[in-house]
Chain A
């Protein structure tokens, strides 16, 4: 007699499908647990707690710090263009906050250093007609927006250091916007221009369908924990 065997292959197959379905249902909770109970050294594992690098153009724009310029213009009394060293010479602000992407990943406790956007606005002197900001990137494509009130929050900075090191090109260096209470797409990378305007002009990602007021947990149909109050 030949041993026909048991249909274990089918059981394993269905078991894997079942485990996958369960993973879809409870994965977000498992991931939260794992992310808070595993050391950072394991961060390449799929725990949803590391940065994924997005660029809106074909490639990551590179600019050396000595070639970097930040311009503040528009409805201001004293428009200016500053160098990287001048930006770093301004009073620094440090923030340690979770970074939440609208696609779901969240990096806990990211340490940023930069200059308060409000300080840059004060330096330029916003005219009374100025109601909103338009940000441009030296990648030539990425744009973003904030209302003046949002821009003057203490947790909105032009960041130049990440985890104590100069911001790399992948992360949007030499300097980028960092809007702590909003989803990552609001934090315009490779920032080179800040223009004060009289109304909000939706930026690149807003034109792709994301909310203009991108508060974490209160927009884009998501209910994530707020990153900054």
Chain B
């Protein structure tokens, strides 16, 4: 490898915008939600009515970044990455165990990231649905209102741990964290940490005419003027 860092595109601009919109809304919701929920905090913040209004509006906005991203034509790579969250390979299974982790040839995301994405996605649906029942409760019987509050509270507790964990893991891998800001990882990182994904992208690059849809990563790379590295097929670490 050359000494100069080769930029290897990971997240396109739309994905990064969706991520940071989501992150901002989640933080607003967690903070306003915590101050509506926890006694000690709620007595410090106290402006309950204003806090409640912010919480409700932020909650209603929450699904929009992801939905828009998925529906817009520019969301091709986002749609593809959501597909990646869905597919769990045998290598993913190997990754969970410390003993077999080293031999796992990962794709673009590790299984923890997939689980995180799936949980956050499901929590958007759950929090929006239960929050709506709590806010517009008139048509619902008591037990449903209590049940909705119960689910909203528990998902909130789990989300705190998931989000704190997400942030800690991000800071533990600075190249990965920075790719959510600037869009690329060093190519060595991709080769080392996500060999299957690295091979996929490199293989797609060497195809003469990229077909629609399947090469989102490469196109994104060209958009940003990065990703010029060419590697021969013989160097690909994945042989199966």
Which residues of A pack against B, CB within 8 Å? 1-10, 12-13, 16-17, 20, 23-31, 44-46, 48, 50-55, 58-60, 104-105, 169-170, 221-224
Contact = CB atoms under 8 A, between A and B. Distances in A.
B129 A20 contact: yes
Given A8-B86, A8-B88, A27 B150 contact: yes
Interface of B: 36-39, 42-43, 46-50, 85-92, 114-115, 117-119, 121-123, 125-126, 129-130, 133, 142-151, 153-157, 196, 238, 240
Contacts of B117: 9
Contacts of A44: 38
B148 A59 contact: no
A9 B92 CA distance: 12
Contact of B122 (A3, A20, A23, A224): A20
Given A46-B156, A48-B150, A104-B145, 11 more contacts: A2-B196, A3-B90, A5-B90, A9-B114, A12-B115, A23-B150, A23-B154, A28-B150, A31-B146, A58-B47, A60-B43
7 contacts: A9-B117, A10-B86, A25-B144, A28-B150, A53-B39, A58-B49, A59-B46
B153 to A, nearest CB: 3
Contact of B154 (A46, A60, A170): A46
B118 A12 contact: yes
A130 to B, nearest CB: 34
A104 B146 contact: yes
Contacts of B92: 5
A20 B147 CA distance: 9
A102 to B, nearest CB: 11
B220 to A, nearest CB: 21
B91 A52 contact: no
Given A3-B91, A27-B146, A52 B37 contact: yes
Nearest to A220: B142
Contact of B150 (A8, A17, A46, A222): A46
A45 B89 CA distance: 36
A17 B4 CA distance: 46
B125 A27 contact: no
Contact of B151 (A8, A9, A24): A24
Given A24-B148, A52-B42, A60-B46, A6 B122 contact: no
**Which of A27, A51, A105 has the most B CB atoms < 10 Å from its CB?**
A27
A7 B156 CA distance: 26
B89 A3 contact: yes
Nearest to B87: A5
Nearest to A10: B86
Contacts of B119: 12, 16
B87 A4 contact: yes
Nearest to B142: A222
Contacts of B147: 23-28
B115 A5 contact: no
A215 to B, nearest CB: 15
Given A9-B114, A17-B122, A23 B151 contact: yes
A170 B43 contact: yes
B133 to A, nearest CB: 7
A104 B142 contact: yes
A11 to B, nearest CB: 9
Given A12-B118, A59-B46, A60-B43, A48 B149 contact: yes
